[in-house]
Amino acid sequence: MQSDVIEADLKRITITDPFLGEYQWLIRDVVIPYQWQALNDNIPQAEPSHALANYRIAAGLEKGEFYGMVFQDSDVTKWLEAVAWSLSQQPDAALEQTADEVIELLAKAQCDDGYLNTWYSVKEPGQRWTNLAECHELYCAGHLFEAAVAFFQATGKRRLLEIACRFADHIDAVFGPEQGQLRGYPGHPEIELALMRLYEVTQEPRYLALARFFLDERGRQPHYYDIEFEKRGGSWHWGGWGDAWMVKDKVYTHAHKPLSEQDQAVGHAVRSVYLLTGLAHVARMTHDEEKRQTCLRIWNNMVQRRMYITGGIGSQAIGEAFTSDYDLPNDTAYSESCAAIGLMMFARRMLEMEGDAHYADVMERAFYNTVLGGMALDGKHFFYVNPLETQPKCMAHNHIYDHVKPVRQRWFGCACCPPNIARTLVAIGHYLFTPRPDALFINFYAGSEAQFTVPDGELHLTIRGNYPWTGEAEIAMTHPHPVTHTLALRLPEWCDSPQIRVNGETAQGETIKGYLHLHRQWRQGDVITLLLPMRVKRVYASPRVRHTAGKVALQRGPLVYCLEEADNGSELHNLSLPSDSPLHEVAGSGVLQGKVLIQTEGLRVATPEEEAPLYSFDTPPTSVTKQTLTFIPWFSWANRGEGEMRVWVDEA
């Protein structure tokens, strides 16, 4: 089993990429301080967070009442996780001290038996574990565990890890198959994946067993959510939201039947991918073929039938949920930022298990499009919902668009997506590299410096380039002592003719599942050069998708492009792209400086005068003229004010 513990082999990754490096800076200097002010209720006009105050009250340091959502605690632990990954990128003594103080606050708020949740300690003492379906205790525990692992890995400090393990031990005592234990599992998955991280760091087999327990119990009959609902007399938490639907709609929580019997991505998209991330991790660590097959089935359904070209998932706002196969409306999409992050997490665990570039392709697609797009270029505004088509003047009046915002919003007190984006961006190195027993997999080529322990010694490497704007990259070996190991270099799906050289010679290796495996002794000064031509590609969706019939999208490297009103005028639905128009790369300017745009000759159907008839007979009431179309990377839309946007364009 020891050989499978791959996270521990990763010593250190520093992002030096000109593009992603800027995001590291934004998170450290803008996002983390802003969130700190939010957690302390120091932001005027923002909804209060009260999250730190809740901990102080639970710790007996302050009088007052709990305020916030049932998962308010997780805002603090997500912040701690982001801080941890940021410290691993760049030390910051003052920030680390602030985090240490928060950790001490958590220690004081923790109950003697290890329990730690301020909602229940302050607001509903005695009601612990009575409403797993709705109340997020195990979810909050999971975010605490993730923060603890990150903080330990970033700083070597064990204080938060001890708090997490005390709580995990308590949960392990409460839940299980024995007499007197609860056979429940969370309404919002998260603890499964978090326990697996805790297990990787601590090697405590009870944590692995507990994660497996939660997964195996899920969806069994008689249904635990019904049992606990009965036991508490039929009360439900989200009173205003209807008739205990979160308890009754088992599909919403992927708990309608045992996971081993499931084969579709259903329900709340974030819950789905968080759950499957834990499942894939357990499947790999326990060599559980049944769980692996479940992961493969649901993955294939999700990615082959229910995923937007942008790596977004969740086609509808109600339930923030999956709908059905090939139902991918562009304008009413939910495509939550957090769901794309969860898809990255699920893809990462599948990649660790399968060593197949397909998972990295999806991970990269979700990251460079929906996750990056979730945050404005200024680092201060965020999307929860990521549509592929918008027309603001109609959105304001048609309630099917109520969830869609035409521009990113300030990040206020209580929020899931912004801190999730923050922690993902500062931890991106963990997605760049996948250290597996058979090879060190390099998934995409963002500039970075990384150090790994491999069986033959220490492997240090530096990636340089300007990914994802150019496909030219260089991987230089910097470790002092020669080390024999396999490097597996991803050959991206979007690249027709990758050229890879080692010290100037065409690389000799075997391509397995989309990775070029290079096995040799690597010496300081060895250089791998990659040439991954990023020709602009036309992308077509399956004709099973009705929303993209007759339409085309553009992609260059991993980036999906879109038309925006700022460059192309309004009424984008009247623009079309002839199938033979050459596609030219041009340099962006202004806020799009440094980005590669695409220009091409397109056609525009003229907008008729206001008094023209709504319907006309026989002759299309149109005059068609040529117009230069400018496509920008979709993740960078809505950084120039409010306007129309669309990814899928009619092909003429």
Burial of 449 by CB count in 10 Å (0-12 exposed, 13-18 middle, 19+ buried)?
middle
Contacts of its own copies in 574-603 (CB under 8 A) = 574, 576
Contacts of its own copies in 442-501 (CB under 8 A) = 494
Contacts of its own copies in 631-650 (CB under 8 A) = 650
Segment interacting with its own copies (CB under 8 A) among 55-63, 159-167, 231-239, 305-313: 305-313
22 given a catalytic annotation: no
Q: Is the dihedral of CA 461, 360, 358, 264 positive or negative?
A: positive
Task: Candidates 157, 539, 591, 640: give the one binding its own copies (CB under 8 A).
Answer: 539
Distance in angstroms between the alpha carbons of the first and the last residue of the chain: 56
In contact, 224 and 132? CB cutoff 8 Å: yes
Taking residues 205 to 244 in sequence order and writing x for each that binds its own copies by CB under 8 A, - otherwise, the string is ----------------------------------------
Task: Candidates 513, 519, 573, 640: give the one binding its own copies (CB under 8 A).
Answer: 573
Instruction: Say whether residue 558 binds its own copies (CB under 8 A).
Output: no
Task: Candidates 16, 98, 286, 323: give the one binding its own copies (CB under 8 A).
Answer: 323
Task: Candidates 18, 176, 578, 621: give the one binding its own copies (CB under 8 A).
Answer: 621
In contact, 592 and 548? CB cutoff 8 Å: no
List strand residue ranges (DSSP E) for 422-482, in order. Answer: 433-436, 439-442, 448-454, 457-465, 472-477
Phi, psi of 292 (to 5 degrees): -60, -45
In contact, 210 and 175? CB cutoff 8 Å: yes
Instruction: Say whether residue 386 binds its own copies (CB under 8 A).
Output: no
- Nearer to its own copies by C-beta: 1 or 400? 400
DSSP symbol at 175: B
Q: Which of 81, 228, 320, 336 is catalytic?
A: 320
Q: Which of 165, 338, 414, 416 is catalytic?
A: 416
Number of residues that bind its own copies (CB under 8 A): 61
Taking residues 387 to 426 in sequence order and writing x for each that binds its own copies by CB under 8 A, - otherwise, the string is ----x-xx-xxxxx--------------------------
Task: Candidates 30, 46, 296, 317: give the one binding its own copies (CB under 8 A).
Answer: 317
Q: Smallest gap, in angstroms, from Cβ of residue 567 to its own copies?
A: 18
Instruction: Say whether residue 40 binds its own copies (CB under 8 A).
Output: no
Instruction: Say whether residue 540 binds its own copies (CB under 8 A).
Output: yes
User: Coil, strand or helix: which one is 605?
Assistant: strand
User: Coil, strand or helix: which one is 310?
Assistant: coil
Distance CA 32, CA 12 (A): 21
Indicate the Cα dihedral angle 174, 180, 186, 189, nearest 10°: 60
Q: Smallest gap, in angstroms, from Cβ of residue 320 to its own copies?
A: 11
R_g of the chain, CA atoms, integer Å: 25
Distance CA 151, CA 582 (A): 50
Task: Candidates 60, 261, 580, 617: give the one binding its own copies (CB under 8 A).
Answer: 617
- Nearer to its own copies by C-beta: 255 or 309? 309
Indicate the Cα dihedral angle 160, 166, 171, 172, nearest 10°: 120
Q: Smallest gap, in angstroms, from Cβ of residue 550 to its own copies?
A: 6
User: Coil, strand or helix: which one is 107?
Assistant: helix
DSSP symbol at 259: G
320 given a catalytic annotation: yes
* Cβ neighbours, 10 Å, residue 589: 10
Catalytic residue numbers?
Answer: 320, 416
Q: Which residues bind its own copies (CB under 8 A)?
A: 303-305, 307, 309, 315-319, 323-324, 326-327, 329, 332, 391, 393-394, 396-400, 494, 537-546, 549-550, 552, 555, 571, 573-574, 576, 605-608, 611-622, 650-651
